[in-house]
Amino acid sequence: MSEEKFIHRYLPGAGPGPTLLLLHGTGGNENDLLPVGKIIAPGMSIISPRGNVLERGMNRYFRRLAEGVFDLEDLQFRTHELADWIAEAAARYGFDAGNVWAVGLSNGANIAAAMAFLRPGVLRGAVLFHPMVPLEPEPAPDLTGFPVFIGAGQVDPMSPPQETKRLADLLKAYGADVSIHWTPGGHALTNTEVQAAREWLSAAGRLGFAR
């Protein structure tokens, strides 16, 4: 690549298999979720890009107009930009572009959900921590069998439970296989959620490793 589209980290795995796409929350960077990725899918390759949008000095993956109000035009542009970059990164590093699983937190979870909606087939599955509904796509995508884990807080002020349920209902309406793990907390990512995501991935052998 002649020009780097995303500042990122790439950690090769122990062998062939899935690659985790780690997508940080607002104010995070390409290093934030590396420990999470190593816990939920040990030994797997990791690609972790930094969001290209700055909001009051904080990294994000797309713009918003206000708290909880997304710039839908920018969201769509940034989603396609990220999806295209995944294919470029796969060619650069030699991982399987058809076996990429997203692990996103908050803003990162939202763009991962948007990618599932707008570019079905780019992701093999997704772990979404504290997501919202990014947009309602037209036309409706076919996500038959697409596995999704959602980690959510019952008193989350940023991603309220009703938003989590609405996203889950949308995903299910498009055919996705959705599991929700509720915690009694708020918007912060907890170890309980991380371990639940690991259990979800390993129990069904989704990434090819056992507990």
179 is annotated as an active-site residue: no
156 is annotated as an active-site residue: yes
Residue 170, CA atoms < 13 Å, CB-side half-sphere: 22
Q: Is the peptide bond before 139 cis (omega within 30 degrees of 0)?
A: yes
Sign of the torsion formed by the C-alpha atoms of 192, 121, 32 and 69: negative
What b/e readout covers 165-194, taking b as 16+ CB neighbours within 10 angstroms?
A: eebbebbeebebebbbbebebebebbeebb
**Which among 156, 159, 169, 177 is annotated as catalytic?**
156
- Amino acid in the structure at residue 12: P
C-alpha 159/C-alpha 68 separation (Å) is 8
**Which among 24, 45, 48, 106 is annotated as catalytic?**
106
187 is annotated as an active-site residue: yes
Largest CA distance in the chain: 47
Q: Which residues are catalytic?
A: 106, 156, 187
